[in-house]
Amino acid sequence: MKLLLYCDLPPNKKNAQTIIDHISSFEKYSQFEIQTVSSRLGLPYDLNLSSFDVIVVHYSITLLTTSFYLESYIPLKDQRKLRKYTGLKVMFIQDEYRRVNHICDRINYLKIDVLFSCAPIEIARKIYKRLSPNTKILETLTGYAPDITDAPPLKPHKSRKIDVFYRARKLPLWLGTLGLDKYQIAEKFLINYPRRLHVDISTFEEDRIYGEDWLQRLCNSRTTLGTESGASFIDFSGDIERDIAIFKSYNPEATFDDLPKHLTSLDKKLCIQVISPRIFEAIACRTTLVLFPGDYSGILIKDRHYLELKKDFSNFDYLLEILNDKTAIETIATTAYKEIIEPGQYSYKAFIKHFDSMIKNELAKK
């Protein structure tokens, strides 16, 4: 069977490795014959869609037309082609908190058969309530554990030079308080940490690290900070993003706490809170996780797979005592590796095995 993967494969040096790993996993592990079309200019003019049994629209291209996404927007001419295609149509989607109603309308227009959402299934059903009942919603993760079997042997913690490593950026206020966590955990840590620790923490864009450089830095660190991924605003109409952007344009120094109450009243009413691929990358590098409280998709167990740092830093002194115990820190990293990475259930190979099984079942119904 032939499968077309329509995506935007980014340059290795300029994007998070997880996007590249996710796209590459289809050709690497799928039982199907995969043809990958990576294009920001749309599908090739002479590509015969009817020659494929399945078309997969990857999350690296989008149905949104905002300026931020315009480079990876699916052209209308290709949307018309996809609508006419009668085979199995599958879509992976991320950034599910923006202009949800518009996205639902476009998915309905395309007649997508299966939608892979990163939101927990009970949340996804609320987000995509406008979808046709003919579209099946399935849950997936934002990314999976990287394969670093070909990498050099991992250093023991006593040989690692960095005590605490982390990178983040300041996200827009319309992501809600959950979006602020990624930035605030870094800022608060930098204010409070004792200078005897060797930290490599930054929220500046020019300090961001990608690809193999990211994994190498993780592998040279004893611990790394982290938070859940997602947003605590689900913006169905686009009004939340628009109204907050307007407020910020007149109040450029405003923080989330400065926003008028009518703009923040929907915060945490409906959330996407999931485990990030960065978590799996850290565990694969046997780097101990120091995380804000969260569910982490039900995968991680506090004090077994990670150390919890309260959002108000009320347990920071206690955490510092644990960080001084290199044996205890390494034990947590080793346990997480053995229980999360070694069994393979969160690998890209397992992800594609599940994907292939789903495709076979859905094709049988066609």
CB 162 within 8 Å of CB 197:
no
Answer for the pair 92, 40: CB distance below 8 angstroms, yes or no.
no
The predicted pLDDT at position 69 comes to: 47
Residues 23 and 122 in one domain: yes
Domain match, 106 and 194 both: no
Domain shared by 184 and 116, yes or no? no
pLDDT digits (tens, 9 = 90+) for 213-234: 899 999 999 999 999 999 999 9
Burial 257-290 (b: 16+ CB within 10 A, else e): eebeeebbebbeebbbbbbbbbbbbbbbbbbbbb
Question: Quick one: 36 and 65 in the same domain?
Answer: yes
**Pair 84, 70 in one domain:** yes
**Beta carbons within 8 Å of 336's beta carbon, 6+ residues apart:** 283, 286, 288, 289, 300, 304, 305, 306
Q: Is residue 29 part of a domain?
A: yes
Judge if 202 and 314 occupy the same domain.
Answer: yes
| Percent of the chain at pLDDT exceeding 90 | 87
pLDDT for position 147 = 85
213 vs 218: CA distance, rounded Å: 9
**Total of domains in the chain:** 2
**Could you tell me which residue, 124 or 147, shows the higher pLDDT?**
124
Which pLDDT score is estimated for 40?
84
Query: In Å, how far from its chain's centre is CA 146?
Result: 13
- Range of the structural domain that residue 235 is part of: 157-341
Element (H, E) at 17: helix 17-29
Mean local confidence (pLDDT), 94-114: 96
- Would you say residue 266 lies in a domain? yes
Q: Which of 127, 154, 153, 125 is nearest to 138 (CA)?
A: 125
Give the CATH number, domain containing residue 58: 3.40.50.2000
In a domain, 271, yes or no: yes
Are 245 and 123 in a shared domain? no
User: Pick from 313, 306, 274: which is nearest to 290 by CA?
Assistant: 306
Assess if residue 150 is contained within a domain.
no
pLDDT at residue 13, rounded to an integer:
57
DSSP 170-182: ---GGG-HHHHHH
Domain assignment present for 152: no
Both 185 and 270 in one domain: the answer is yes
Global confidence as pTM: 0.94
> Is the confidence at residue 42, as pLDDT, over 70?
yes
- For residue 46, which of 80, 76, 81, 89 has the smallest C-alpha distance? 81
Eight-state DSSP code of residue 293: S
d(CA 42, CA 76): 9
Exposure letters 181-201 (e unless 16+ CB within 10 A, then b): bbebbbebbeeebeeeeebbb
Tokens 């955990």 — which residue?
185
Residue 117 and residue 186 in one domain: no
Is residue 354 a part of any domain in this protein?
Answer: yes
Structural domain contains residue 149: no
Is the same domain home to 136 and 224?
A: no
Token duo for residue 182: 């990624």
- What digits encode the pLDDT tens for the residues 75-94? 999 999 999 999 999 999 99
Question: Could you tell me if residue 229 is inside a domain?
Answer: yes
Task: Return the axis-axis angle of helices 316-323 and 326-336, rounded to nearest 10°.
Answer: 90
Could you tell me which of 312, 318, 325, 366 has the C-alpha nearest to residue 113? 366
- pLDDT tens digits for range 13-26: 556 789 999 999 99
Please state, in angstroms and as integers, the Cα–Cα distance from residue 328 to each residue in 129, 222, 254, following that order.
46, 11, 41
Burial class (CB in 10 A: 0-12, 13-18, 19+), 179: buried
Structure-block tokens of residue 274: 């999931």
pLDDT at 366 over 80: no
Q: Does one domain contain both 138 and 173? A: no
Q: What is the CATH number of the domain that holds 299?
A: 3.40.50
- Residues 328, 191 within the same domain: yes
